[in-house]
Structure 1
Amino acid sequence: FVLLVAEKQLQISIHQRDISAQQFAEFQLQNEILKNRPLDLPVVPQARYDSSDVQNSPRCEGQTRLRIRETIHHWADECAKPLFWLVGPAGTGKSTIARTIADSFHDKKRLVAGYFFKRGERDRNNTTGLDRDAVEKKGLAIQFEKLLWLPLCDLPPTDANHGSRIVVIDALDECEQPEHLPLVLSLLSKLGTVNAVCLRVLITSRFTSAVVAALDGVRYRSLDLKAEHRDETRSDHKWEILENWPNPAQLDRLIHLSTAPSPLFIYAATLYRFIDDPDKRENPVDQLELWLRQCDSNTPQLDQVYLPILHYVLFGSCNVHEKPKPLAENLRMELFDVLGAIILAATPLSYKAIAALLGMPSRRVTLWLRHLHAVLSVPEDPETPVRLLHKSFSDFMLNLKASNHFDYGVDAAQCIKRMEAGLRRDICNIRKPDVLRNEIEKQVIDTQIPADLEYPCLYWVYHLQQSGRLLGNNVHVFLCTHLLYWLKVLALLGRVSDGAAAMKQLAAICQCPNAFEEFSELIKDASKVIATFGPMIERTPLQIYGALIIFSPVARIKPDWDAHRQTFEGHDDQANAVAFLPDGQMIASASWDKTVRLWDAVTGAHRQTLLLGSTRTLALHSSSSTLLFTDFGAVDLFTNFLSNEPPPPPDETPSSPTFCNIGLNPEKTWLMVGDAKILWLPIEYRLTSSAVRGSTMFIGCSSGRVT
């Protein structure tokens, strides 16, 4: 009997060994595929000039804004300055002008590209979509040189009579990475020096310190919509309003309100939508009189535009001096739940997705959306996102939230409920664990993971962090019961890296005093799962169950994970030097292959490659988070510009802090903690360099690996 049991256990061990070998082979294959893949340019379709969102947005009416448009055309054809900055407050028509200008140059076949940032769309407001920062993970300056500058310089000269070519970038102030703007604008201005073709760049933004600072040192022309062409602006407002308001006194009052102290083109458009109720509940003449009655010259312009609309929804009257029958508290909360899902969502949602996310009947959501028709674009298609007609409404609502007039937001707890209701083991009904993700039809994924489930999977931790609340038991229960289901959905969406970032955010929240130890350990384990198995999971999502059960520690066999967490591969020769960046979030490695690579220390993602030559030295100064000292000088990790600045004196060079006496044995074959051997280093992992921070140690190997 004992022999039979032993034989059976041996067969199980052999079977597990074979599975382990197969998993390891697949992992190596994926690394090879990722290493040799072609360029994979990130695309943000909705930000492009030819997207339906941009094409369906307003243009300048008739003969309005003519002098401004003529000024921009004259600059494009005559001015030597490569950049034109169209600046003005919210609601002054910058985006409308930008789209009209883009149309004009497109019709003349002179529009090179257009990128339109937009409030409330995180993927769209990231410079990775604008500057292709993910191309081979190389630095921005190198990308610019390889993908734009050199190809343009190789072009044959074009006929000067064909005119300049234009790039339009709208709402640059909405960029969520303002620290990138100086380099972006500097490189864009360099396009104006290409001899083969005359290139000009039109940018629009509000007057913000980030944009002003970014333009310092750049040759540009500017036009302030608030200060210039005021007479034309007043005339244009009158042109837009004349057809709808024949009463001269009302007309003069509206023109004054919409142009003082600064012109707001959204004023007339919003008012028109307000009085033109699609449900015909109110008389337009009465609506206009009520609007004008509540106007106070001491009220900020945006408040004049939006308070009547909000007041009408809350109280059924446009007159802010009266308070007839306010909404019941439950209806008021329902309204602000819908508004929060529109204004504070990380990316726009359809009304169907909003209803499912809020656990609210669709008819209730559509009812509130009809009340808000003056400020929202509500498509008939239930799958198409609901969008703000103008980002200034978001400013208005956020100001109300900040002043504690109203409290609203996207509830992370509701996101968790939606995931608990929708996530399951084989969500796409594949039934075959060895199926690759790229073999699963996109239509199947889209059908089984609808937008209202995809959204909470991607952003529930973001909303938890934004709420500022402590971690609740519901988060712990969700991770205990649905962690693998959640990771598998991220894998099916190709967004496992988002899971790594989410765990990083949760770990930061767990550092608060009230976080309990069991929860912290669970998050640590989840982070290790993603770091160790992320690439394999994303390639074969259904392998997540078998792989993790086989390779993860089991308490009765092994109390904890192996000391080895992850290996970064990319260098083609020995890794000479390894260093932590000052914040500990990034690792830099140098190699004989003449590159310095930057890695995310948490997720293992390859962030950037610097082509510097072979260096044995990597050092960072404590006063700078971006200056990396090498044998060739100091390189700025953001701009990739190399200078001859000498490295700091040895006593000023930050040393990596140690923890628990981490080190190596004299033969450099074992990683040690104190006197205990915790990880044996095979020959191919024998180190040539190392860096220690806290309880983490990275080593550079002769094989080129960093582990």
Structure 2
Amino acid sequence: AYLAKLPCAVRAGYSSGNHKSCLEGTREGVLSDIEAWEADERNESVYWLKGVAGCGKSTIAQTFAARSAAKGNLGASFFCSRDYPDRRNLNLIFLTLARDLAYWSADFKTALMPIIRVNPNVQDDSLPVQLEKLLVRPFKKTRLSATIVVDALDECEDKEPVSEFLSALALHVDNMPTVRFFITGRPEDHIRSGFKLPSLRTKELPLHDVDSAAVDSDIKSFVIFRLDEIATRRRESISGQWPSDRDIAVILKKTSGLFIVASVILRFIDSPFTSPQKRLKLIVEPQESTIYEGRSGIDVVYHQILSAGVEDADEDDPVFFDQLHLVVGSIVLALKPLPRASLAEVLEMTPQEIWIILTHLHSVLIMPESESEPIRILHKSFADFITDKERCLDARHFIDAPPHHSVLGMHCLKLMNMRLMKNICGFPRYAMNNDVEDLHARRELCIVAPLSYACSSWAKHLQLSSQAGGNTSSVLTLVNDFFTCHLLSWLEVLSIEEHLHTAIYSLNDVRSWLTNNPNPDLSDLIDDCERFVLRSFDGVKQSAMHIYHSALSWTPTSSPTRQLYERELMTEAKLVNAVGPTWDACIRIVPVTVGKHVEAVVFSPSGALIAARGRNCVEVFDVMTGVNRATFDENMFIFSVAFSPDDGFLGSGNSGGTINVWDVQTGTMLRSFKWNDWSSALSVAFSSCGTMISSGGSDGTVRIWNILSGDCVCVLKGHSRAVKNVCWLAMWNQVVSASDDFTVRIWDVQKQTCSKIFAQYSDPVAALASSRGLLLVASTNGTVNIYDSQSGDIIHVITSNITHSRFSIDGGKVLVASENSGDIWDITTKTLTRVRCIDYNGDHATFSPDGTRIASIYDKFVKIWKTNAGYNHHETSTHVHYPIKDVYISPDERLVTLKSMKGAKIFDAATGQSLFTNLINNLLSIVFSLDSAFVAFLSPQCTVQTWNAHTRLHKSIAVDNVFHIAIALSPDGSQLASLSRSHMKLWDLKNEGCLAHLEFNRKLEGQEQISFSTDATSVSVLEKSHGTQSWRISPNHNIDLTRDFINNSDGTQSWLISRPLKSLVQIEQNIIPNHPRDNHDGTKLPMVFVPTTEERSNQDASVPCQSYRYETDSEWILDQDGRRVLWIPPDERPKKFSSGFKREKKVLVQTESGKVYFVNFSQS
């Protein structure tokens, strides 16, 4: 059962009939060489059969696999194909091989099954981890010998600079000494780079180097055999001697040594729609046209086949040729093969029309009779021919790729504009994608194949049409309609299909297309759409429905996207004062899991990746989408990380004198260097050629390591203290080091000597970098020196209140950072620009190489900022720069007061508008009058400041020169009661006079509370250990003590509140929440729950309010049924939070940065 659940490719093995074997007696020289390699265990573990398209690699692989299986050697095989999604998916290769090996050997299966049981989600692991678990471990345990065949590796989707498959194999092949890997593929760059990995010992055979006479002989045997077979099978349509020796000779000449050409010719001759003799004659007879004279054989063959396909067509019928051009071009240029039915819907045709058009092209196209199976070109060489104007000289057949991509893009846009709709799959409200039980069925039913293709491919088609030229007004109209009407439903589809990252790449493709088709308004809209997607990427990735519930809610109010789609906003959680009018400069917040905090961030040289370093872990993610690319766990403290020049490797400098080099593609360690246990590698840097890495040690040494050989090239000594910064100059043989001995040195690696010592600094160096002949040295005293790296002359000195500096390697910019803001120094223009729109941790901010991005640390997140002008730093009116200590809510819930150590702010609870700011430090108490018209603030300076909510005016009154415990306002706000430990006073606020004074016969404890009765006729003091005492206020403002008392449990007596006052206390508990709730650990909660006015007037309503909660370390607000009603971005989440919401419908949230906002809830 476990094996059956393993996701694998279908029909990927040699026995699935995907390829034919070599004709008996052909390719024997090559096959003998391969079989000899397989037989000798002393040979290399890997055999690479390489060659150009059409030279017969797959046929040889098929034949060798069959022969190896017959001998019992073949354990498994995988024949890759770009035409099938599962067979071009690298992630399925090791999974499929492991399954087939288990079927091949019972011993292997026995060793594999426990591994799968323990790792049920092994398909989610990286390729090296899959290989180690699924192949290496079972082979080690069983010690089985096996041959594994992987054909057409170049046809797998692999955008990395070095083949991911080969990188994984290079790491583990030595751990499988009894296993032979036979691999075929064209020598494309990433494949060649993979086979160059030092640990991948490979025997190579280039097919184009095989003796041409032997190849021609094999092709001739193949042609004769197939023609004889055709003659036998179709004898009734053939007369006379057929074929002739001349026919064979002409065909052989046209093949130019490529088996694929012979195969295409034979398919053409064997067409069921005409006589084989007639077709052969078309191939061998001289052409009337001389346009292909002197051309290669394959070009002539393709021309003849295409011409024969239209020989019966009316030359004056432009409709037929337009349709032929459209269909063939779409098959050739489609980003993935489409079934006939899907292609027909995309092109606004019928499947029958497509079948008729392609009737005579079966020799170059694979045309299944089923409408649901994809149409594919027989061989890539046909696509190469028909899209090359220099080769396909017949204008009727030539496919000009850019204009045709434009046509395909238009058809995709039309289809999306017609078929996309809100909630396309009919998901329940607030549904998480993976929680929908019949997700697959809904997706198949509602997101049909042509729509899925259009959603994923339209933008790439437009980008590929950038050079098409001509009138693009119709395309612009379709694009504009799409963005203004269907953007959100498109994002729905991408989220449901788990391709949301495609949205970012698509928007970038459209932006690229617009560079040649300028449209400022559309460009601005696309930029805004990108911000919209990036802001809520992590939430929308989990739930397509939260495009409408959450993403729109967190979009600025003046955003074009929000204004276009405001009507689609559907949520019971309404944000108040949470978003500003426009975007700020932060374009993405990426969650990282490298421990409690992120220590530092580093951009890769291309700017496409960022490494976030924790204490013992490094995470690499994609800058554009935030998608994790690799995670490296270290068992020691990490001091420094650096990327190789090609982004392919990451070096880490660690404690214990260790430098590790990691493969970013595979997530595994390539090299580990160590010199002793008591030193630490405080900094690392790759050479410009990427083959060496330098390290600065705590022992004062600079060491150079060869990544290929694993050797230490040299140890450079001269510094007297720890070396905390190293970098390479443009010349690969020069290294710069900065030490705590206050010196900067340039070293000649070849001579292993110090070639230059810069003037000694008075403070340690904080940052060091070089680029374009410049060397930047930033010291901790706030000075940045820019040197000519060759002469050592100072070009410029930047002096400011600088705490930290970061250098943009290629952008020519220096980030001059203070604690939470920064300036940018442009080396070219020698100007300083204030970055007002960025609010980051200056200690750990770093530039992208082109200077357009800044990455900074935010707790467990990395923030990515744009340095471009045009963004504003937004600070809400309720922003508090110091931690909020208390939250006070008026009795009518219309006002909220936030108290911090630096004062207090009053704001409107409905709109978030700031109404009043009190700047007195360490306020002792804040109270509202019962009618919510007045607020009073008690300061340590024995003054009370009052604020009138109606007039918005405030005034102060000196209540005494002694320390006061508490204050209270009368219901109408006209009187104030003040309480100290020795006495109580009653004040007239209008005339600022004392009305009454009562001395106590004992000292109060200092934690008492005071309040007026609802009719203002009495005042009560609540003591924690003595109960409540109440005094009546006589008309002449004398204060009389009530005579009733009660017996306490401890034997003491407390004054009894009269019945009206007892009622008062109950009301106070409901309407004056002046003291916020505490967590169980004593900390204050950042959330205060505010009952709405309607709830206060309907407290006994029979329908209860819904309950909401926010869980620790969560992204979501949940309702009482556990539904996720609102996703919260990382920078908007509470810094501390309660275990659950109460019954009220309004929540006040304080974030880590001091921002405060409301979430209002309504019944759904």
Which TM-score band applies after superposition, normalised by the shorter structure? 0.7 to 0.9
Q: Which one of 10, 13, 20 corresponds to residue 49 of structure 1?
A: 13
Residue 248 (structure 2) pairs with residue 255 (structure 1): yes
Any conservation in 2 of the 1:582–1:625 contact (CA below 8 Å)?
A: yes
Give the secondary-structure state (helix, strand or coil) at the position aligned to 1:244: helix
Residues 500 and 224 (structure 1 numbering): CA distance in 2 closer, same or farther, change over 3 Å? Answer: same
Q: Relative to structure 2, which stretch is displaced further, 539-548 or 609-618? A: 609-618
- The one of 386, 389, 409 equivalent to 1:412 is 409
Asked if 2 retains the 8 angstrom alpha-carbon contact of 1:487 and 1:496, the reply is yes
- Partner residue in 1 for 2:1103: none
Change (3 A) 1:186 1:566: closer
**Amino acid of the structure 1 residue aligned with 2:604:** L
Q: Does 1:386 align with 2:375?
A: yes
Determine the C-alpha separation between the residues in 2 that align with 1:42 and 1:501: 30
In the TM superposition, residue 442 of structure 1 has moved relative to its aligned partner by 1.0
Contact (CA 8 Å) 2:14, 2:78: kept in 1 or not? no
Structure 1, residues 164-198: CA drift from partner, whole Å, max 9, x if none? 42222222344565764467546536765446x52
* Residue 698, structure 1, aligned to residue 660, structure 2: no
Task: Indicate conservation of the 8 Å contact 1:120/1:346, yes or no.
Answer: no
Q: Which of the numbers 280, 287, 298 marks the counterpart of 2:279?
A: 287
- Cα deviation digits, residues 620-652 of structure 1 (max 9, x gap): 57x654565542447365575346523313342
Contact 2:592/2:612 (8 A) holds in 1: no
Alignment of 1:293-442 (within 5 A): 293-294=285-286, 298-316=294-312, 325-326=314-315, 328-400=317-389, 405=395, 406-408=398-400, 409-410=404-405, 411-434=408-431, 436-439=433-436, 440-442=438-440
- Name the CA shift for 1:153/1:702 in 2 (closer, same or farther; >3 Å): farther
Specify the SS of the correspondent of 2:370: coil
Structure 1 residues 251-260 or 542-551, which shifts more?
Answer: 251-260
1:70–1:432 Cα change, 3 Å = same
Residues 591/467 of structure 1: CA separation in 2 closer, same or farther (3 Å cut): same
Aligned length: 639
Between the aligned partners of 1:113 and 1:104, the Cα distance in structure 2 is 13
- The structural deviation recorded for 1:590 is 0.8
Aligned pairs for 1:430-509 within 5 A: 430-434=427-431, 436-439=433-436, 440-468=438-466, 469=468, 472-509=476-513
Amino acid at match of 1:700: I
Superimposed CA distance per residue, residues 513-569 of structure 1 (whole angstroms, 9 cap, x where no aligned partner): 753333222222222222232232232212211223322111298321355432322
Structure 1 residues 360-409: Cα deviation after superposition (integer angstroms, max 9, x where no partner): 12221111222211222222221111122233222222334876742353
1:275 and 1:288 in contact (8 A); partners too = yes
| Equivalent residue letter for 2:178 | C
Q: What is the aligned counterpart of 2:628 among 596, 600, 606?
A: 606
Partner Cα separation in structure 1 for residue 167 and residue 818 of structure 2: 50
The 3 A distance-change label for structure 1 pair 190 and 435 is closer
Distance 2:814 2:259 in 1: 65
Kept in 2, the 8 Å contact 1:433–1:543? The answer is yes
Whether 1:155 aligns to 2:155 is no
Cα displacement (A) at 1:611: 3.5
Asked whether the 8 Å contact 1:563–1:678 carries over to 2, the reply is: yes
| Alignment partner of 1:572 is 2:595 | yes
Partner AA of 1:313 in structure 2: G
Instruction: Tell which deviates more after alignment, 110-119 or 653-662.
Output: 653-662
Alignment gaps of 5+ in structure 2: 96-120, 233-239, 564-578, 674-692, 696-725, 728-735, 737-767, 777-805, 825-832, 865-1164
For 1:645, give the aligned amino acid.
S
Query: Quick one: distance in 2 between partners of 1:392 and 1:458?
Result: 26
**Structure with the greater relative contact order (CA < 8 A, sep ≥ 6): 1 or 2?**
1
The residue that corresponds to 1:31 in the other structure is none
Mapped to 2, the partners of 1:136 and 1:173 lie a distance apart of 22
The equivalent residue for 1:635 is: 661
Retained in 2: the 8 A contact 1:116–1:169?
yes
Asked if the contact 2:161–2:193 (Cα under 8 Å) also holds between the matched residues in 1, the reply is: no
Equivalent position to 1:596, from 611, 614, 618: 618
8 Å contact kept, 1:172–1:205: yes
The corresponding residue for 1:58 is: 20
Query: Residues 287 and 238 of structure 1: is their aligned pair in 2 closer, same or farther, counting only changes over 3 Å?
Result: closer
Higher helix share: 1
What SS does structure 1 have at the residue aligned with 2:388? helix
Identity %: 24
1:254–1:199 distance in 2 versus 1, CA, 3 Å: farther
Equivalent position SS for 2:590: coil
Asked if the contact 1:121/1:346 (under 8 Å) is kept, the reply is: no
| TM-aligned CA deviation for residue 575 of structure 1 | 1.4
Aligned CA-pair RMSD: 3.9
SS at match of 2:600: strand
User: Following superposition of structure 1 onto structure 2, how do residues 168-179 of structure 1 map, counting pairs within 5 Å?
Assistant: 168-174=149-155, 177=158
1:210 & 1:577 partners in 2: Cα distance?
31
Alpha-carbon deviations, 1:28-86, whole Å to 9, x = none?
Answer: xxxxxxxxxxxxx99673683279xx634433345654554344233212261222232
- When residues 400 and 252 of structure 1 are mapped into structure 2, their CA distance, relative to the original with a 3 A threshold, is farther
Assess, with a 3 A threshold, how the Cα gap between structure 1 residues 695 and 276 changes in structure 2: closer, same or farther. Answer: closer
Cα pair 1:420 1:478 within 8 Å, conserved: yes
- Give the Cα–Cα distance (whole angstroms) in 1 for the partners of residues 162 and 517 of structure 2: 39
Shift of 1:423: 0.5
CA distance in 2 between counterparts of 1:705 and 1:210 reads 31
Q: Pick from 539, 544, 560 the counterpart of residue 542 of structure 2.
A: 539
Aligned to 2:230: 244
CA distance in 1, matches of 2:625, 2:496: 18
* Alignment partner, residue 204 of structure 1: 184
Structure 2 CA distance for partners of 1:522 and 1:587, relative to 1, 3 Å: same
Label 1:677 to 1:660 Cα distance change in 2 as closer, same or farther (>3 A): farther
- In the alignment, the residues of structure 2 paired with residue 474 and residue 252 of structure 1 have an alpha-carbon distance, to the nearest angstrom, of 58
Structure richer in strand, relative to its length: 2
Could you tell me how far 1:460 is from its partner in structure 2? 0.7
Q: Are the counterparts in 2 of residues 379 and 386 from structure 1 also a CA contact under 8 Å?
A: yes
For the residue of structure 1 that corresponds to 2:639, the secondary structure is coil
Output the CA distance in 2 between the equivalents of 1:585 and 1:597.
Answer: 14
Match of 2:447, as an amino acid? I
- Confirm or deny that 1:220 pairs with 2:375: no
> Do 2:136 and 2:172's aligned partners in 1 also have CA atoms closer than 8 Å?
no
Aligned to 2:258: 264
CA contact (8 A) 2:465 2:513 kept: no
Distance 1:192 1:146 in 2: 10
Amino acid across the alignment from 2:427:
I
Shift in Å at residue 220 of structure 1?
0.5
Alpha-carbon distance change, 443 to 58 in structure 1, aligned in 2, over 3 angstroms: farther
| C-alpha separation in 2, matches of 1:209 and 1:562 | 41
Q: State yes or no: 1:582 paired with 2:605.
A: yes
Q: Contact (CA 8 Å) 2:807, 2:815: kept in 1 or not?
A: no
Q: Which amino acid aligns with 1:617?
A: S
Q: Distance in 2 between matches of 1:265 and 1:626?
A: 37
Kept after mapping to 2: 8 A contact 1:234/1:259: yes
Alpha-carbon contact 2:55-2:260 (below 8 Å) kept: yes
Q: Secondary structure at the match of 1:419?
A: helix
Deviations 1:256-304 (A, max 9, x none): 34444743333444334323333x4x33322222322147884412123
Residues 651 and 377 from structure 1, CA distance in 2 versus in 1: closer, same or farther, beyond 3 angstroms?
Answer: closer
- 2:342 and 2:450 in contact (8 A); partners too: yes
Picking from 545, 550, 553, the partner of 1:550 is 553
The 1-side partners of 2:541 and 2:601 are apart by 28
- 3-state SS of 2:285 partner: helix
Aligned ranges for residues 128-139 of structure 1 at < 5 Å? none
Partner letter of residue 274 of structure 1? F
**C-alpha separation in 1, matches of 2:91 and 2:822:** 38
